[in-house]
Chain A
Amino acid sequence: MIRALIPLGVFVALIILLVVGLQTSEERKLIQSPLIGKPIPEFSLPTMQDPEARITHNDLIGEPFMLNVWGSWCWACREEHPFIERLGREAPIELIGFNWKDRREDALAWIERYGNSWSRQVVDFEGQTAIDLGVYGAPETFLVDHRGIIRHKLVGPVNANSFDDLMRRAMQLRAETQ
């Protein structure tokens, strides 16, 4: 009798495995960045407002900041924009834009239309720095501490949940500088 139940047990176990697998499939697509805990890569990129001016990693180290990767071609960036706006207003650390694989005129038109939430903005048209940062989609948001160490990376749009999480982490990074 008990022996006859073995196939049923195996079957139920398989079903559980498949259901759990389906429910966590979205999570498994997210790639844990190996760069967390490592210093931000060296870069020198032109700014959005003035293509002649450049911002380097050295300009940013010293104060904690958030780096928000976006592009005018990315629809999820439009979706997260209300939260980015709030981060720019409410977060205790600087919010820097990282315009990725975009065209300047498209990006400027986008900012004109949806509003500028970033205090400064770098442009990476070639995508070289993005590769060094391990960026694989937009939007992505990095949290970097005052020593220039990458502390957190959010893949995908900021939403109500991740907004609270980012705010908490930003406050912690601010506290660490004191």
Chain B
Amino acid sequence: MHTPTFQRPMRCLAAALFALVLCSTALASAIETYPFSSELEETRFRSLIAELRCTVCQNQSLSDSDAPLAKDLRREVFGMLQDNRSDQEIRDFMVERYGEFVLYRPPLAGHTLLLWGGPVGLLVIGLATALIAIRKRRTAL
């Protein structure tokens, strides 16, 4: 069967992307390895350290950071998982000590309403403005 020539570069691109994904997962697992008792526990550990902020290097999560404190906190998270603590309890543990700032996904509450609602609000304002502008032009024509 005849294959269109454009498929070749696409394949190369796909291979390159795949290699990149492999590399990044290899990098991500460069942090300490813990003896997880189950796959679920490992998944929980990974998602928790990805959504907790490293307070030393503030634009990195615990999973990204090489800082000694991030290492201590990962050990802490692992220890709490071993103690059968829930994800929420682990998040609360961090918030009690470092404040809500450590959560990359802050809770939806009164004081975070602007943060969560802001983008939607801006979108509504934008749509309303566009609508008014379009109507005005229509009536002008």
A residues with a Cβ closer than 8 A to B are 29, 31-35, 101, 126-128, 130-137
Contact = CB atoms under 8 A, between A and B. Distances in A.
A34 B97 contact: yes
B130 to A, nearest CB: 16
Contacts of B73: 131
7 contacts: A31-B55, A34-B97, A35-B97, A101-B68, A127-B69, A131-B72, A134-B97
Contacts of B99: 31-34, 134
B127 to A, nearest CB: 18
Contacts, number: 41
Interface residues of B, number: 15
Contacts of B89: none
B34 interface: no
Q: DSSP class of A's interface residues: helix, strand, loop or mixed?
A: loop
Contacts of B56: 136-137
Nearest to B71: A127
Given A31-B101, A35-B96, 13 more contacts: A32-B99, A34-B97, A34-B99, A35-B97, A101-B72, A126-B72, A127-B72, A133-B97, A134-B99, A135-B69, A136-B55, A137-B55, A137-B56
A13 to B, nearest CB: 15
B133 to A, nearest CB: 13
B66 interface: no
Contacts of B58: 29
Nearest to A34: B99
A33 B76 CA distance: 19
